[in-house]
């Protein structure tokens, strides 16, 4: 299978970036995060791109970054939470090992509610998160080859559960 060893998807704040790094360490492979690629390429934060140019411009930048990373990277790849909104991206994920990290709304508010770096949750995070999940849950499920619940688990415990669910052995 070409492409990343594992692609991580799931909503904002579920721990894709945190667990992605831990998984890479445990498996002895490299880690890449498409949000980091976008910030490096654009020379500005994700929040700045949203404020300056709006969500649709961000999505176009994101789509290009995700497609590039899927073609280039062979380690652990974490996507931004909305990357799966793009049908072309979902098509590229078919045939990949894709882990969907999930959580319920209370856990989401705990992790992201006060974090202004995520512009989509800046106002009324609980309601916004529910609406985002109504629109996206089926897309995460569509692309996933494994679903890992993160509620009440530490990042290390989630990493362990992911290694089990993905049937991956450590280096
Ligand atoms: N399993 C976990 N339990 C508690 N907090 C977590 C867990 N995983 C991540 N976090 C925290 O939640 C926030 C969002 O994590 P992050 O890895 O950036 O998520 P994502 O990349 O999915 O948006 C960070 O402050 C991180 O430290
Ligand atoms: O879910 C989303 O639409 C977004 C998720 C964010 O990434 P994380 O999922 O890593 O927080 C980031 O790409 C942007 O703020 C939009
Ligand atoms: Mg992230």
Residue 67's pLDDT is 97
Both tokens assigned to 8: 């991580």
In whole angstroms, give the CA distance from residue 159 to residue 161: 5
129-151 confidence digits (pLDDT tens): 889 899 999 999 999 999 999 99
CB atoms within 10 A of CB 127: 11
Residue 5's pLDDT is 97
What was the ipTM of the complex prediction?
Answer: 0.97
In a domain, 64, yes or no: yes
The length of the chain is 171
Confirm whether residue 17 is marked as ligand binding: yes
Residue 117's pLDDT is 59
What residues contact residue 131 under an 8 Å CB cut-off, 6+ apart? none
Residue 118's pLDDT is 66
In a domain, 171, yes or no: no
Residue 121's pLDDT is 66
Domains in the chain, number: 1
Domain that holds residue 128: 6-165
In whole angstroms, give the CA distance from residue 38 to residue 36: 5
Ligand 2 centre and the CA of 9: distance in Å? 10
- Ligand 1 atom closest to Cα of 33? 21
CATH code of the domain containing 63: 3.40.50.300
In a domain, 170, yes or no: no
What residues contact residue 15 under an 8 Å CB cut-off, 6+ apart? 101, 111, 150, 155, 158
Which residue ranges in the chain fall short of pLDDT 50?
none
In a domain, 86, yes or no: yes
């Amino acid at each position: 299978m070409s492409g990343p060893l594992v692609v991580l998807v799931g909503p904002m704040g579920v721990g894709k970036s945190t667990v992605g790094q831990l998984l890479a360490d445990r498996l002895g492979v490299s880690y890449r995060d498409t949000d980091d690629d976008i910030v490096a390429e654009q020379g500005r934060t994700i929040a700045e791109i949203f404020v300056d140019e709006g969500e649709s411009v961000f999505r176009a930048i994101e789509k290009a970054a995700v497609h590039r990373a899927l073609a280039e990277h062979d380690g652990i790849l974490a996507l931004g939470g909305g990357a799966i909104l793009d049908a072309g991206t979902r098509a590229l994920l078919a045939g990949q090992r894709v882990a969907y990290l999930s959580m319920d709304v209370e856990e989401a508010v705990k992790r992201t509610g006060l974090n202004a770096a995520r512009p989509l949750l800046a106002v009324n995070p609980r309601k916004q998160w529910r609406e985002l999940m109504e629109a996206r849950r089926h897309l995460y499920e569509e692309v996933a080859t494994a679903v890992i619940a993160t509620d009440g688990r530490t990042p290390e415990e989630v990493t362990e559960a992911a290694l089990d669910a993905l049937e991956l052995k450590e280096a």
